[in-house]
Amino acid sequence: MILYEEILREFNKQKVKYVIVGGIAFNILGGYRNTLDMDIITEMSDENLSKVTQILKKYGYKTKKASHEAHLLDTDKREKLVKNKNVKALNFYKNIKSYEQVDIILDTPVDYRMASKNHKKYKIGDISIPVISINDLIKMKISAARDKDIMDIEVLDHLRRRVK
């Protein structure tokens, strides 16, 4: 069993529009970094976000504040969170002491439309997973600019040159 397998299976079964980004994508693309949370970019329609939240709730995930789920499902409130509170992602967690967390990325230079055009599907076990492209992940990491992102950019750039 792979990490987050039940969620990924359910996403695929319900045809959720999503792309894996962040540390898991970095590792799938050929990097190596310890990471336990799953970061995703999703198509931001009410229908798609409703599927995402229902699936996460089905498997015991919740937001730290009950209002955050409501904000995610309301376009105006979601945009205000990003603009006024500088919220980059909404976190769903299984329980306080668990590493199992899913971050839905809200504020990124690469939105779902762009990521879905450039993504590549990877087969992990018998699950097909949409993973962000190296170029798009680099754009996201340049924007985030944390120390670990700067290190990841160097690795991703090396991997990108190797693929060409």
Residue with the bigger pLDDT between 38 and 79: it is 38
Residue type, 21: V
Per-residue pLDDT tens over the stretch 108-126:
999 999 999 999 999 998 9
Distances (CA, A) of 96 to 60, 89, 107: 12, 18, 24
Mean pLDDT computed over 155-162: 90
pLDDT per residue over 35-71, tens digit each? Answer: 889 999 999 999 999 999 999 999 999 988 777 888 8
Share of the chain above pLDDT 70, in %: 98
Residue 130 has pLDDT above 80, yes or no: yes
| Domains, the chain, with CATH or none | 5-158 (3.30.460.40)
Which residue type does 50 have?
A: S
* The model's pTM: 0.91
The predicted pLDDT at position 2 comes to: 79
Question: Cβ–Cβ contacts within 10 Å for residue 148, how many?
Answer: 13
Tallying the residues shown for the chain, one arrives at: 164
